Structure 1
Amino acid sequence: MKLSDFNLTNYKSKFYEKNKLSNKNLDDSKHKIALEISNVGLWDWDVTSNKVFYSKESMQIIGYDEDDLKNTSKFWDSKVHPDDKESYFSDFKSHLNGDVDIYENKYRILCKSGVYKWVLDKGKIIERDENGKPTRIIGTHTDITNLKNTEDKLNKNLQLITSQNKRLYNFTHIVSHNLKTHIGNFKNILEFYEEAKTEIEKEDLVLHLKSISDSLTSTIVDLDDIISIKSKAQVNQINERVYLHNCCNKIIESLSIDSQNKGVTIHNALRKDEVILSNKSYLDSIFYNIISNGIKYSDPNKKSQIIIQSVHTKSHIKILISDNGIGIDMDKFKGQIFEMYQTFHGTMRQDSRGVGLYITKTQVDALQGEIQIESKLDEGTAFSLTFPKQK
């Protein structure tokens, strides 16, 4: 018989004689057998005498036997998990006040062995005095520990799948954004090559073409690493030693054509011995997006520059990347900076897709870091990347 088939209002037996408990309530063999088969415990509270009968099934759920029996509500109430007591008493009070027809609550109960089990507790007022006050309440206990554990596992799996889908979605944008940047660099160099008038100019452009090709190869390898990372539940499960100065230098070199054409000087002031444990693929992408933005949105009326430096605390390292470019109107766009498909510079550039900073924020979050921005129109932009130090 299912629990829902057990109608408490139809369970008629006399539990007490002269305010003393008796086991004669189990004379109804049908209900007794049903309770035993279903492993559902029974409780019966005589409100007038404040005594509670607990069936052996209820006692067995928490590992006690009849010798341990104490016929008071405090016996059971004291074993409810501290974090569950508020809802436990609140739900029961709602039933006493007539707010709900049947009392029902799921909570953890401390067993004799010292472990907690999950219990589904149900109850209903079946007798009242002449003033309408409850005098007797009968209810059931059901062990739902296995059900709860299964439910928790399903929720964790759902969270994992949702997280993996989100990272996969972000990964498609990373591939599109980063590869499109390299393709643009190839296109620019080939156009310069066609316009070159001397063999020396052509040879120089071929060298730059090789540099871009090497950078593209490195990006493809990095993206392959990201695929491996995304199969993990947490990106930070894979850590490697990253030398920040060398990491930035490679990005600066890959962007040298753009920076020269824009007249942007890049100062890498990071110490050569600065090392953090992180994911190199993500850091490369983060630096690439911020530095390339500094070049892309430089001010043609200034002697443009980008400065990369760091500040250390006991527990964190903060990397500062600042430029003196055209800046962003933070009063207008402050809440949109790291959202997808947002552009802020008022330009009609076709290569401004509003994806780079979204990707950057996602990657910084994945590395348990924090990214902040300060910017002012016609003065420039400064990004700060804060990462926890790991031993």
Structure 2
Amino acid sequence: MKKLIKKLLNLPSTTQEIDSKFSEVKKWELALEYSSIGLWEYDAELDSVFFSEGSKQIIGVEDHNFGKNPNDWNDRVHTEDKVKYFKDFQDHLSNGKSMYENEHRVLCEDGSYKWIRDRGKVVEWTSEGKHKRVIGTHTDITSRIEKEEQLEKYLQLITSQNKRLHNFTHIVSHNLKTHIGNFKNILEFYDESNSENEKEELMNHLKTISEALTTTIVDLDDIISIKSKSDTSELNEKINIFDCTGKIIESLEIESTSNDITLYNSVDKNDFLVANRSYLESVLYNLISNGIKYSHPLRKSKVVIQTLHTEETLKILISDNGIGIDIKKFKNQLFEMYQTFHGTDREDSRGVGLYITKTQVEAMGGTIDVDSELNEGTTFSLIFKKQKHSK
């Protein structure tokens, strides 16, 4: 090792000086390890890579021979990152780029991936002008990348909410102005009318307008109430999802029986969610009742509620084999106010339910997605980040 240091650093030949420099190298290596930075060195003549303990610790490798195969690290680079990874390194070696720098994911011993900032530079050339020795560093930037991804999600959510808020205020303004304008017109006609029959008819119109105005105000109040409670302690309740779903199914027994629709509670009995109980019940009720409301008339209908786990999320899936939605046509309108998509003339389809459902899901810290096909059925996915009380 001392001879190698002497050769690489062009050290004097005395043992004392070599020992001193060797000690300095060990200090720097320890400093790099304590700072979570790994050191690597590629020897083109030996076609092997030396990895410091810091580099190996980042990915959990304990094999002392790691690096003898020059592709030991390369083979662990995520498939989606490999093209740029090799290109950036080659740009430095052959295309005159002053320094090699790349960010990529690398496979760890435990099967997970970490994000690495990989930097390096040719420090020694052959007499023919080819690279002989390259030295570089590995820095674990997983935490930074995860924070950036989370910030991007928040930005997208805020952008989406701002857009929906703009649409919401536009709808509020339009609907209230329409109702008020109708009131004003009817009252003017009423004042000008000399016929009792005509006045009675106008009064019936006023009642209709009043009911529509009341419905609009109730819708707006519901939405404002949800948004105002989204950051309160009312959300912090441990809910057994199976029991909650069972309660909703029981409340819809008359509707499901009369429509000959089977409701299946396939939720894992040990799955819990920390959320606002009334919101979760409202969301499940709306989506399950939609499965009943829009069942297919030509087949035995069913609605299945189940939970699904991923590494980071708990999903609640509400699936039916009903008439479905044309996703391609209505994708950007699904969760907007006063929009309907099923091609039916049902009087109870006001186009508010999915808007309120999305608002409630977001207030619980989740997201909602939908997958549907006409004449095949629909699946709504409620997606929540794993919590302490989740399975």
The one-letter code matched in structure 2 to 1:85 is: K
Could you tell me how far apart the structure 1 residues matched to 2:96 and 2:377 are?
A: 51
Give the deviation of 1:109 after TM superposition: 0.8
The one-letter code matched in structure 1 to 2:210 is: S
1:173 maps to which of 162, 170, 174: 170
Could you tell me how far apart the structure 1 residues matched to 2:162 and 2:369 are?
A: 19
Could you tell me how far apart the structure 1 residues matched to 2:175 and 2:95 are?
A: 63
Partner of 1:28: 25
Partner of 1:194: 191
Q: Counterparts of 1:252-291 in structure 2 under 5 Å?
A: 285-286=338-339
Residue 122 of structure 1 aligns to a residue whose secondary structure is strand
Say yes or no: does 1:389 pair with 2:378: yes
Say yes or no: does 1:76 pair with 2:73: yes
TM-score, normalised via structure 1 length: 0.56
Distance 1:389 1:64, change over 3 A: closer
Q: Counterparts of 1:78-157 in structure 2 under 5 Å?
A: 78-157=75-154
Give the deviation of 1:217 after TM superposition: 0.4
Could you tell me how far apart the structure 2 residues matched to 1:156 and 1:191 are?
A: 52
Partner of 1:221: 218
TM-score, normalised via structure 2 length: 0.56
Partner of 1:60: 57
Could you tell me how far apart the structure 2 residues matched to 1:282 and 1:110 are?
A: 39
Native 8 Å contact 1:167 1:230 kept in 2: no
Question: Sequence identity of aligned pairs in percent?
Answer: 47
Larger Rg: 1
Say yes or no: does 1:49 pair with 2:46: yes
Could you tell me how far apart the structure 2 residues matched to 1:230 and 1:93 are?
A: 53
Distance 1:66 1:276, change over 3 A: closer
Could you tell me how far apart the structure 1 residues matched to 2:96 and 2:172 are?
A: 57
Residue 72 of structure 2 aligns to a residue whose secondary structure is helix
Could you tell me how far apart the structure 1 residues matched to 2:186 and 2:76 are?
A: 75
Distance 1:276 1:124, change over 3 A: closer
Could you tell me how far apart the structure 2 residues matched to 1:186 and 1:276 are?
A: 38
Give the deviation of 1:87 after TM superposition: 1.2
Distance 1:188 1:164, change over 3 A: same
Could you tell me how far apart the structure 2 residues matched to 1:387 and 1:187 are?
A: 47
Give the deviation of 1:29 after TM superposition: 3.5
Native 8 Å contact 2:33 2:53 kept in 1: no
Give the deviation of 1:285 after TM superposition: 2.6
Could you tell me how far apart the structure 2 residues matched to 1:318 and 1:283 are?
A: 16
The one-letter code matched in structure 1 to 2:208 is: S
Native 8 Å contact 2:168 2:337 kept in 1: no
Could you tell me how far apart the structure 2 residues matched to 1:26 and 1:66 are?
A: 25
Could you tell me how far apart the structure 2 residues matched to 1:107 and 1:230 are?
A: 39
Partner of 1:183: 180
In structure 2, the gaps of 5 or more residues are 10-20, 231-278, 295-321, 326-333, 359-367, 381-391
Deviations 1:114-158 (A, max 9, x none): 111111110101111223211111000111112222222222122
Native 8 Å contact 2:60 2:109 kept in 1: yes
Distance 1:284 1:34, change over 3 A: closer
Could you tell me how far apart the structure 2 residues matched to 1:276 and 1:184 are?
A: 37
Distance 1:131 1:319, change over 3 A: farther
Distance 1:79 1:32, change over 3 A: same
Deviations 1:95-126 (A, max 9, x none): 11234211111111111111111111101011
Deviations 1:235-284 (A, max 9, x none): 99946236989xxxxxxxxxxxxxxxxxxxxxxxxxxxx9989xxx9787
Could you tell me how far apart the structure 2 residues matched to 1:390 and 1:28 are?
A: 60
In structure 1, the gaps of 5 or more residues are 1-11, 17-23, 246-273, 288-315, 322-358, 370-384
Could you tell me how far apart the structure 2 residues matched to 1:276 and 1:57 are?
A: 55
Native 8 Å contact 2:114 2:140 kept in 1: yes
Could you tell me how far apart the structure 2 residues matched to 1:172 and 1:138 are?
A: 59
Tell me the number of residue pairs that the alignment of Structure 1 and Structure 2 aligns.
Answer: 261
Partner of 2:159: 162
